[in-house]
Structure 1
Amino acid sequence: MGFFTGLLESSVRLNADLTAEENLRYLQTLEQVSVSRQELHRRLSEFQLDTYSSVPVRYLSKGQQRKASLLLSMFTRRRILLLDEPTEGLDDHALQTFEHWLRITKYGRVVILSTHDLSFAKRISDQILVLDEHGIKSG
């Protein structure tokens, strides 16, 4: 199952000693995904990380680290993505970029996300389940 599943946790899981670009290149090697340098820089620019491409992740803000983590999930070709609070710490621009990417890539895969942002979930989801103190119900 691990080959088919990609995970983005609420805590950022990047190598802090590498730059965002180096983390993405490392993922490419692990995932055996080919992404051109031009495409990589376009994505970094979309998330406003291009000016920080040579900065180790440890020196980025929490929001910038979150953007870099989202970029990792964007480059995976996993059929099932588990996203834990993917919008946490994102500015409006990054949220719109992520939402656009999610809309165009969710077809052909299963995306399961947990979020406190119900309006975001309603905008991008085909089905919503709400978990509260009474159990699970359809949203």
Structure 2
Amino acid sequence: MADCIFCAIVAGDAEADVVLDEPGFLAFLDRRPVFKGHVLLVPREHVVTLPDLPASERDGFLAAAQRLATAVVEGLGAQGSFVAMNNVVSQSVPHLHLHVVPRTKGDGLRGFFWPRRKYADGESAEYAARLRAALSA
């Protein structure tokens, strides 16, 4: 889709810190993370919501999400993760995306108020490399 930023990332036309690159899916760091290491998993095919995801892609999508949830623990030292997706309401980009957010006890995240943070120069590349290493281990 021409005006979709996630399609542009998938096509390589927009920059992103890629964490996972598979035939059906791509995962990259959120540019405005809830916590550093916050990953977005998207299908390569433009679909807007979870109900739009072809049944043939469901298992692979969830398997990738599982691996990412493990990677934020093993690669970043998080104690766990928060995994979520919006469908239409609060969906900032109309392309299906699943959030995998690293969590630690006492991190201050409460309910659905998601304060956003910024990466220092070069820091996002370091986080992406740590996650890629955990995924390939």
Q: Same fold (TM over 0.5)?
A: no
TM-score (norm 2): 0.27
TM-score (norm 1): 0.27
